[in-house]
Every structure is written in C-alpha cells, then in structure tokens.
Amino acid sequence: MVRRRAAALVLGLLHAANPFVLPGPRVAALHMPRRPQLRPPTALQMARDLYETLGVPRGSDERTIKRAFRDAARKWHPDVNDTPEAAERYKEISQAYATLSDPDKKQRYDMYGETGLGGGGGPGGGVEVNLEDIFDSFFGGGGGGGFGGARRQQNGPIQGDDLRADLELDFKTACFGGQEKVRISHLEKCETCEGSGVKPGAQVRSCATCKGSGVVMQVTRTPLGSFQTQTVCPTCRGGGQSVDAYCTQCSGQGVSRKAKQVSVTIPCGVDTGNKLRVAGEGDAGSRNGPAGDLYIFLSVKNLNGFERDGVDVTTRLSVDAYDAILGSSETIETLDEPSFSVDVPAGTQPGTKLRLKGKGAPALGKATQRGDHYVVVDVAIPKKLDGDSKKLVEELRDKLRK
C-alpha cells in the first residue's frame, strides 16, 4: 500500500502549505476529498492506452488532456462516485494524466508506448500527479458541481472573515424588538487605493518570480516518489504583481481596521442565545472578494420580578390572607403597562396561577402572536396580632369550624 501512503502525504503537504484555508467555520465547510484507494496496477491496466483512458485522441495537447482529466476526476473520484469500479478508474486516469501531463514522459510514451516509461522505477513509481489539479476540479469555480467550499484560486478574490459581536438587550427590547447600536471594529477596504494595496499612480508589473501566476511549483522528493506541489510565490505573496510603491494609507494591505457603529433592528421575541446576522459587516475581503458577515450574539438582561420562558412570562403577587379569602382587585406590572388591574377571586389558594391571556411576550418575529402572563399568588399570613385582632380571628375560626 505504498501508493496510498504517498497520496496521503501529499494531501497533508498541500493542506499545510495552503495559506487560503480560512480560519473558523469555513474550515469545516472545506470538504477535503478522501484519498483515492490506489492499488498497484495490474498488467492488464498498464497495457491500456493512456489517451483512451482519458478519452482523448492520441497526441492531444496539454489543455485537452488537462480538461479531460478534470472531467474524468469529477466523474470518478471516489468521493463523488461510490460505484465499486470508481477507485480503480480514478487511479487509472490519475496515472494516465501523470504521464501525459509531463512533456518528457508524454514524448517517450508517444514514441515508445508503455515501454518508454519503463525506466522510471517500475509501474506506479515516481508518478507525479499534480494534486492541485484534482483539487481545482473540485473546489474550483465555474463547475458549480462537486463540493461547496471556499474558492481557493491563488489570485482570485477571497471573502473576508466573519466577525462576532455581543449585545445585551433590555428585557422588554428582547420581547418587543427595537433599534440597537453595536460598536464593532472591522477591516474595511482602503479608500485611498480602493483595496488594491498599490499607491495610486505607482507602476505595476507582472512578478518575475512566478510570471504573474502567484504560485511557484515545488518538487518534493520523498522515498515514496516525487511530488509536485504549488506554493504561494514568496516574492509577490500570491498577488502575481511587482509593485514599485505600496499604498501608504493601508501599508499595501488594501484594507484597514475601522471602528464603526452598526445599527441593528432587533426583531420581537428574541432571547438569550439568539444570533443576528448582519450581511457584509464582517471583515472586507481581499482582491475584491466579498466582505464577511457580522454575527451578533444576543443576551437578555433580567427585569426585576419577571421571568420569561419562551413566549410566557411569570410574575408573583403577594396578597394578604383576608384578600385571599374575600377576593380583591390588585394592580400589577405587565410587559405593556406599568399598572394593570387584576382580580384576585375570593378563596384564592396560595400558589394559584392567574392567567392573563395574550399578555406574554411575542413569538419570534411575530408581534401579534403573544404568549400569556402568569401571576403566581402568594398569600401573606399575618405574623403578629394584637389582643383585639387575635380575639376576632379566634371568633372567626370558631364560627367557621362549626
């Protein structure tokens, strides 16, 4: 299983060397293809014509071969194709591509066929598959198929990071919604250079090291074979450009950190733990990539005496024993009114819950759909009675017990 280990190694290298794997949740969204199940090729497969394997005419040019390989990889990669023959087919096309994408090997193959490749360390040895091509075929744009994930083209736009802000709301604002302001600090596109990082009027030329591609190829030789990997050009750091003066406002970054106040509309019915997303208020993207989003994590302050459970709220009301016996009219605070009149019926028991229908909190985003307000009645028993009162209570007791 030498080939399997080799493939895994290269995947690891590529991952580590890739500077555009974004931190945080986007990493989770990046779906790394599982390594192909490579097995030593059999004699029969080695005898297959490599052009035929890729489905292109003999002597096809580099571009045709590359396109055919991408299409075939999309179709046969074991991650997208779970038929039993997929792994085998995928291996075949990878090997065919490894040979035909290498001008030297291609020439030898064109002239001498399979035997022309014999000297390279035996079947399967020294296969130089540029896995970047495979990745491109899955992550690259245009196709729309394959996996969702961050666009990773070296020179392409990069989306800015998402940001988090925390906001504590008043109890009633959380119930009924409102306007709030949040202070944030995020990266904004530099106005001076419009995000390019280049000083206005400065000369921009193609980077000599990478010829403008932003990447350089590196061949890594390991006991398991040689592998070609792409890394970001060290000269231009992936920009592909050589610039004679950078923007002084943003030190060539194209973005600068700004403090900002963001106005947010709080919908009714929010609660601790809810998040609000404000599109485009995260960090600015680079190379004209879109900005990330701002996520506002909400928490709700306590309101004295009020407890909320979803759409229902509960308060407590203390009445004395006589009112509990005889009934009374009490004034309480509700979410809407500071003094709301509530009837305590005669004979109310301690712990009775009175229900005020529709006086609770609105459902999330639905102002008219409201829960209930429960009033829990506490009955206060007098602790001390003077002589006369005590007599009266005794009389009452004796009378009622008859």
Nearer to Zn ion, 60 or 155 (CB): 155
* Residue (115 or 248) nearer to Zn ion, CB: 248
Of 42-50, 97-105, 201-209, 356-364, which part binds Zn ion (CB under 5 A)? 201-209
Residue 227 CB coordination number (10 Å): 22
155 in contact with Zn ion (CB under 5 A) = no
Give the residue, chosen from 11, 96, 131, 190, that forms a contact with Zn ion under the rule CB under 5 A. 190
Residue 15 or 211 having the CB closest to Zn ion: 211
How big is the site for Zn ion, counted in residues (CB under 5 A)? Answer: 12
Which residues are paired to 206 by β-bridges? 241
Q: In angstroms, what is the minimal distance from the CB of 250 to Zn ion?
A: 3
Q: Which amino acid is at 3?
A: R
Output the smallest distance, CB 190 to Zn ion, in A.
3
Alpha-carbon distance of 167 to 185, in angstroms, equals 14
Instruction: Please say whether the beta carbons of 311 and 362 come within 8 A.
Output: yes
> For Zn ion, which stretch binds (CB under 5 A), given 24-32, 58-66, 239-247, 342-350?
239-247
Place of tokens 């601790």: 272
**Which lies closer to Zn ion via its Cβ, residue 24 or residue 234?**
234
- State which of residues 158, 193, 243, 266 lies at the interface with Zn ion (CB under 5 A): 193
CB of 283 to Zn ion, least distance (A): 15
Give the one residue of 7, 236, 264, 335 binding Zn ion; rule: CB under 5 A: 236
Pairing of strands 340-344, 366-370: unpaired
Question: How far apart are CB 260 and Zn ion at their closest, in Å?
Answer: 18
- Of 186, 180, 184, 183, the C-alpha closest to 300 is 180
Out of 18, 37, 209, 231, name the contact with Zn ion by CB under 5 A: 209
Q: In this chain, which of 37, 192, 231, 334 binds Zn ion, going by CB under 5 A?
A: 192
Cβ proximity to Zn ion, 155 vs 226, nearer residue = 155
Phi–psi pair at 386, nearest 5 degrees? -75, 175
210 binds Zn ion (CB under 5 A): yes
Which residue in 314, 301, 297, 299 sits closest to 360, CA to CA?
314
Question: Per-residue x/- mask for Zn ion, residues 335 to 374, rule CB under 5 A?
Answer: ----------------------------------------
Of 44-52, 87-95, 190-198, 391-399, the segment contacting Zn ion by CB under 5 A is 190-198
Instruction: Count CA atoms within 13 Å of residue 231 on its CB side.
Output: 12
Long-range CB pairs of 365-370, under 8 A, 24+ apart, other chains included:
365/267, 365/268, 365/269, 366/268, 366/269, 367/176, 367/177, 367/268, 369/311, 370/311
Does residue 243 bind Zn ion (CB under 5 A)? no
Report the C-alpha gap between 109 and 103 in whole angstroms. 10
Nearer to Zn ion, 233 or 317 (CB): 233
Tell me, residue by residue from 28 to 67, as one string, x for binding to Zn ion by CB under 5 A and - for no binding. ----------------------------------------
Per DSSP bridges, beta strands 255-266 and 366-370 are unpaired
Mutual angle of helices 62-76 and 86-100, in 10-degree steps: 160
CA 393 to chain centre: 69
Residue 211 Cβ, how far from Zn ion at the closest point, in Å?
A: 8
Q: Which stretch binds Zn ion (CB under 5 A): 13-21, 147-155, 193-201, 315-323?
A: 193-201
By beta-carbon proximity to Zn ion, the closer residue of 249 and 334 is 249
User: Read out DSSP for 18-74?
Assistant: -TTPPSTHHHHH--PPPPP---PPPHHHHTS-HHHHHT--TT--HHHHHHHHHHHHH
Helix (H) / strand (E) containing 375? strand 373-380
* DSSP code for 339: S
- Binding flag, residue 73, Zn ion (CB under 5 A): no
Binding mask 245-284 for Zn ion (x = CB under 5 A): --x-xx----------------------------------
Q: Give the binding site for Zn ion (CB under 5 A).
A: 190, 192-193, 207, 209-210, 233, 235-236, 247, 249-250
